[in-house]
Amino acid sequence: MSFPASFVKLADDTWGVRVPKDQVGAPLEPGATLMIATRSGQKREVTLARPMGFNRYGDSLWSLAPQAAAPQATAQVGSLDGVLALFAKAKTHLKRPAIVLAVPGLEPDPLTEDRLGRVTSALAGTVRLTIAGDKAKVPGSITVTTGEFTTTNDYGEPAREWLGRVTVDGEYQPSRAANGRTDAIAQRLAELAREPAKVAADSGRLTGRCCFCNRALSDERSTAVGYGQTCANHFGVAWGARPEGFAEQA
């Protein structure tokens, strides 16, 4: 019985390729390319680097040449001038203001416990928007991360996953981690650019949490506009039953 070539962990704990001894094709040599089937059933082309010996079945083992990362497709989401104005206003009150938005189409965030000990669950995944600082690769752009802590940093501490950035001219540049989520995120960012009031209200209704501080909303007026009264004061936006003034500057 013949098995297809597959990825395998090598003795140095790096990933390589196992090529069955009865593999049909041209003799293998450094620089040759092979199509490998992943566990998910997808096909991936790899380039062989050098032979690493054989396993106990006589299959040859090969290290892999560095694979060029495929460029991530960008998306124009429109002008976010209204959103940037909100951040500018909030910076007079907050050191690092943020906007947290529900994104339909993303996997829901894990169950989270609010500061009052109540367990809540979002009906959609969330993203968190902040302004990149002066030392960032693209200062002044909008940084996009997961809304919740979904990974760890180099110190093993909880961290948010970086999903890309939005430049000042409205281009969403997704990270590799955003693969499979790019379309949903780009669509939500475009909606935010066009109708910040509606998107904020939608987010509040979907998650029951403030789109600025991500805390649980406690009354109907806050749920109607998607944020609480304190955050409304910080960001200089209207608060009450009518969300139309969301993007107005104070």
CA dist list (Å): 248 to 99, 125, 197: 16, 27, 10
On whether residue 119 sits in a domain, the answer given is yes
pLDDT of residue 117: 42
Sequence-ordered strand ranges (E) for the chain: 6-9, 15-19, 33-37, 43-54, 60-64, 75-76, 99-103, 112-113, 119-120, 125-131, 142-146, 151-152, 158-159, 162-166, 171-174
pLDDT of residue 157: 84
Q: Are residues 103 and 151 in the same domain?
A: yes
Q: Are residues 175 and 116 in the same domain?
A: yes
Each residue's pLDDT expressed in tens, for the chain with a length of 250 residues: 456 788 888 988 888 989 887 764 557 889 888 888 766 556 778 899 999 999 988 889 999 998 766 667 899 999 989 899 899 999 999 999 999 999 988 876 554 444 334 334 444 689 999 999 998 889 999 999 998 888 877 677 888 899 999 999 999 999 988 888 899 999 999 999 998 878 877 888 788 889 999 898 888 888 888 899 999 999 988 886 554 555 444 4
Q: Which domain holds residue 173?
A: 75-245
pLDDT of residue 132: 95
- Would you state the structure tokens that stand for residue 76, as one six-digit string? 């124009």
Positive or negative: CA dihedral 103, 107, 111, 112:
negative
Q: Are residues 189 and 80 in the same domain?
A: yes
Q: Are residues 38 and 148 in the same domain?
A: no
Total number of domains constituting the chain:
2
8 A C-beta contact, residue 106 and residue 135: no
Residue at a domain's end among 14, 33, 64: 64
**SS3 label, residue 188:** helix
Q: Are residues 87 and 30 in the same domain?
A: no
On whether residue 1 sits in a domain, the answer given is no
pLDDT of residue 241: 53
Q: Are residues 88 and 18 in the same domain?
A: no
Q: Are residues 123 and 235 in the same domain?
A: yes
**SS3 label, residue 162:** strand
Residue at a domain's end among 38, 64, 90: 64
pLDDT of residue 118: 38
Helices (H), strands (E): how many in the chain?
5, 15
pLDDT of residue 70: 62
